[in-house]
């Protein structure tokens, strides 16, 4: 089983920052002793504490209370391959999606050469970038060098991508959606043409969590964009995040505390 990018402590810390609350303030609003809230943020999991804190932080109480059991099912579509790449002491994803005789790539990893090496000599027809953080664009120079077209939102050297743009690759249709907030501009890519619809989310949404936001205003914007984009998609949509395992929208609607 793949490990989630964020455990419950990261979920709560991101929500506290997004709400502009210190643990002491959250404890007062939740009617909990401050030491209990601090212990929770440091790894002492309690379903009861989770249920009391969740409404204060605008989180889904059931999802937070069961976060330690959230485990998305393994991805079962052979045309999708996760490239698990180095990012300092952590890991970052790039995603290869095959369309028959060729493939397209989403994000390029953090370390120059790592993504190209993981492709073992195969070259994508196109490279789509979700956003400009270094762990997602560190490898684009390799693809510029070999002549693979690179597209992304405000990415130096790449062809521009704006929300609402639609691209075609063989039998696949790729639509760009605005998923800004964690990083601005940021796009998700909605892909049709395989057995199930796909949304490449970048860092806007992880299995069981979401990307952190620098300010409460950006946090609210990120939640708004997620709500707007996900509202029209079916539960069987496969979500391919920038970190951590693939998941489905149905699993996240049930198990992601940020989706309420």
HEC secondary structure over 79-122: CEEEEEEEECCEEEEEEEEECCCCEEEECCCCCCCHHHHHCCCC
Q: Which of 145, 147, 221 is nearest to 183 (CA)?
A: 221
47-66 pLDDT, tens digit per residue, is 999 999 999 999 999 999 99
Q: Which two tokens stand for residue 85?
A: 């790449």
Q: Is 159 helix (H, G, I), strand (E, B) or coil?
A: strand
Residues linked to residue 98 through DSSP beta bridges, in sequence order: 103
Q: How many residues are given for the chain? A: 260
Residues linked to residue 187 through DSSP beta bridges, in sequence order: 178
Peptide bond into 77 cis (omega under 30): no
Q: Which two tokens stand for residue 91?
A: 């890991």
Residue 118 pLDDT greater than 90, yes or no: yes
Residue 260 pLDDT greater than 90, yes or no: no
Q: Average pLDDT for residues 222-251, to the nearest whole number?
A: 98
Residue 243 pLDDT greater than 70, yes or no: yes
d(CA 209, CA 4): 9
Q: What is the pLDDT of residue 121?
A: 87
CA 198 to chain centre: 13
Q: Average pLDDT for residues 154-164, to the nearest whole number?
A: 98
Instruction: Quote the mean pLDDT of the chain.
Output: 97
Residue 101: band (very low, low, confident or very high) from pLDDT cuts 50, 70, 90: confident
Q: Average pLDDT for residues 117-127, to the nearest whole number?
A: 96
Residues linked to residue 196 through DSSP beta bridges, in sequence order: none
Q: What is the pLDDT of residue 1?
A: 59
Residues linked to residue 209 through DSSP beta bridges, in sequence order: 206
DSSP state letter for 208: T
1-36 pLDDT, tens digit per residue, is 589 999 999 999 999 999 999 999 999 999 999 999
**Farthest-apart Cα atoms in the chain, separation:** 60
Q: Average pLDDT for residues 226-236, to the nearest whole number?
A: 98
65-96 pLDDT, tens digit per residue, is 999 999 999 998 999 999 999 999 999 999 99
């Amino acid at each position: 089983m793949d490990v989630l990018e964020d455990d419950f402590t990261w979920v709560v810390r991101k929500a506290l920052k997004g709400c502009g609350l210190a643990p002491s303030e959250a404890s007062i609003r939740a009617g909990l002793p401050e030491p209990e809230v601090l212990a929770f943020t440091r790894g002492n999991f309690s379903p009861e504490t989770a249920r009391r804190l969740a409404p204060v932080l605008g989180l889904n109480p059931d999802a937070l209370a069961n976060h330690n059991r959230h485990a998305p099912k393994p991805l079962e579509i052979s045309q999708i391959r996760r490239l698990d790449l180095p990012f300092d002491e952590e890991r970052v994803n790039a995603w290869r999606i095959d369309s028959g005789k060729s493939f397209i790539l989403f994000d390029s990893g953090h370390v120059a050469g790592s993504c190209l090496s993981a492709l073992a000599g195969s070259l994508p027809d196109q490279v789509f970038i979700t956003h400009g953080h270094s762990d997602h664009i560190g490898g684009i120079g390799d693809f510029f060098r070999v002549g693979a077209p690179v597209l992304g939102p405000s990415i130096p050297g790449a062809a521009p991508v704006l929300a609402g743009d639609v691209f075609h690759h063989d039998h696949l249709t790729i639509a760009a959606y605005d998923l800004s907030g964690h990083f601005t501009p940021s796009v998700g890519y909605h892909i049709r043409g395989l057995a199930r619809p796909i949304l490449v989310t970048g860092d806007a949404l992880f299995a069981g969590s979401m990307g952190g936001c620098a300010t409460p205003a950006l946090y609210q914007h990120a939640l708004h964009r997620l709500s707007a984009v996900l509202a029209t998609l079916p539960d069987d949509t496969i979500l391919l995040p920038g970190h951590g395992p693939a998941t489905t929208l149905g699993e996240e609607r049930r198990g992601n505390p940020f989706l309420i």
